[in-house]
A and B are shown apart, each in its own frame.
Chain A
Amino acid sequence: MYPSRFRYQAARSAEQAVRLLHEGGEDAKVLAGGQSLIPMMKLRFASPELLVDINAIPGLDYHRVDPDGSIHVGALCRHADLEHSDLLPGHQPTMTAAAPLIADPLVRNRGTLVGSLCHADPQGDWASVVLALGGSIVAQGPAGQRTIPLREFVLGPFENALAHDEIAVEAVIPAPRGAPAGGYLKLERRVGDFATAGVAVALETDGSQVIRAGIALTGVGGSTIEATEAEQVLTGRPLTAETIAEAGRLAAAAAQPKSDHRGSATYKRHIVSTFVVRILSRIDWTQERAA
């Protein structure tokens, strides 16, 4: 298999990439890790006329934690960079848990977190993680940069809010107001498979109660789903067996799974509730409180 023909340009700066996209019009596309785009092009589901390769742009492969605690992930930070990160463990449990569960080790060496968010696949794991964390995308276009909350960035399956001449330069996770806790669990049939169901939980606690709760679901609807009611039941209270069970129930109710080759709708709903309860029950509340 091979794609239809396209013109190819390797941008050396974000400004140049934007200019090339602007000139290329609607049929131009950004090429990042290529781990979603190239398979789609080989199947001829996508036939861009121009590919603007951003891989040679210097200085975009970072991920860093700023002094205020916010996390910044550059457009060329690969899944594997996050999996092997020295910064994230002990700092951001939901991202730490998710990174090794994306695709397989070879795909993780090329694919990017930002590319995954741009791809807006309802089965994409990072979208749930970043949504649960309240993150956003920094986009750069001809008029400069703007920040788009992920909630507004993902418009639907495979659709994002970027203009045709904008690139996403980084993803930002806002500074936590409390101690971060949470995790990511994904049921997959084998390594490299997309989620049968996935659950991202991102809490912030002040030692006595949950001050912010984010819960988002992968692969159980036409888009990434934010389990708003489950979040609300946890917020402003201590984490107890009752609130945990209730959050599990509400998250399962928010899921809109379809029966398919990965499992029945009932089964997927059950997984969602089990995963929410499992992640929340594993949080070492006493230690969080002592910290």
Chain B
Amino acid sequence: MTIIYEETADDGPPIPEQRITVRVNGRKVVAEVEPRLLLAHFLRYTMRLTGTHTGCDTTNCGACTVLVDGRAIKSCTMFAVMADGHEVTTVEGLASPSELHPLQEGFKEKHGLQCGFCTPGMMMAAKALLDRNPDPTEEDVRWALSGNLCRCTGYQNIVKSVLWAADKLRAESGQAEEAS
């Protein structure tokens, strides 16, 4: 499909593209990719899902965090071919057409972002935490986000945003249980 990498002197001989089938935000996607295509670049350039940011590009910052089969990982450090047959969730997969996800609301309510660069990664790491642990302590949140760097906020409000979202999600699931 799209070859997006510029040719450099030591790239080696051309390699046939490989067909992958990936479920991205619930949608089944079939694509032909170079084996060396990074998942982050597949999402951003092939899928045009530019919510996943690449910051450091050296596996340090977590801006590129997405969920693969529910686990938060750094998409700059995985090849798209490795996602073949798997389920990828990006920040675009959080909101429904009509409503923000409680995490997004939380970041809005509690001023969890300034420049917003780290925010998609923060939200995805937080999503993985809340899926596993709906009632985290502040310490749990700090621990779960410790692989995600933010240059702006000093983290305080990010932690508050995630705790806000946890409260809201628990309240919602409580209501759902009462209703059923």
**Interface residues of A, Cβ cutoff 8 Å to B:** 1-8, 10, 31, 34-35, 38-39, 42, 44, 47, 49, 51, 53, 55-56, 80, 103-107, 109-110, 191-192
* Cβ distance A34 to chain B, nearest Cβ, rounded Å: 6
* Cβ distance A120 to chain B, nearest Cβ, rounded Å: 19
Once the chains are docked, how many angstroms separate the CA of A53 from the CA of B145?
28
Q: Is the CB of B125 within 8 A of A106?
A: yes
**What are 17 residue pairs bridging A and B, where the CB atoms are less than 8 Å apart in the complex?**
A1-B58, A2-B38, A2-B41, A3-B36, A5-B36, A6-B15, A10-B82, A34-B78, A38-B59, A38-B79, A39-B58, A42-B57, A49-B12, A51-B35, A103-B147, A106-B125, A107-B147
Q: Given A1-B57, A4-B12, A110-B73, does the pair A38, B41 have CB atoms closer than 8 Å? A: no
Q: Give chain B's interface residue range (CB within 8 Å of chain A).
A: 35 or more
Q: Is the CB of B125 within 8 A of A5?
A: no
Once the chains are docked, how many angstroms separate the CA of A8 from the CA of B35?
6
Q: Is the CB of B72 within 8 A of A2?
A: no
Query: Which residues of B sit under 8 angstroms from A1, Cβ to Cβ?
Result: 57-58
Q: 7 closest pairs, A vs B, by CB?
A: A104-B147, A8-B35, A106-B147, A5-B12, A191-B146, A109-B71, A4-B12
Counting chain A CB atoms within 10 Å of each CB, the highest count among B37, B74, B81 belongs to B74
Q: Is the CB of A106 within 8 A of B73?
A: yes
Query: Which residues of A sit under 8 angstroms from B41, Cβ to Cβ?
Result: 2
Q: Is the CB of A7 within 8 A of B15?
A: yes
* Cβ distance B177 to chain A, nearest Cβ, rounded Å: 26
Nearest B residue to A53, CB-CB:
B82
Once the chains are docked, how many angstroms separate the CA of A253 from the CA of B37?
47
Q: Given A8-B18, A42-B57, A107-B147, does the pair A55, B77 have CB atoms closer than 8 Å? A: no
* Cβ distance A243 to chain B, nearest Cβ, rounded Å: 35
Query: Which residues of B sit under 8 angstroms from A191, Cβ to Cβ?
Result: 146-147
Given known contacts A7-B15, A8-B79, A105-B72, what 12 new A-B pairs fall within 8 Å (CB)?
Answer: A2-B5, A5-B35, A7-B35, A34-B79, A38-B77, A42-B38, A42-B57, A104-B62, A104-B146, A105-B146, A106-B147, A109-B71
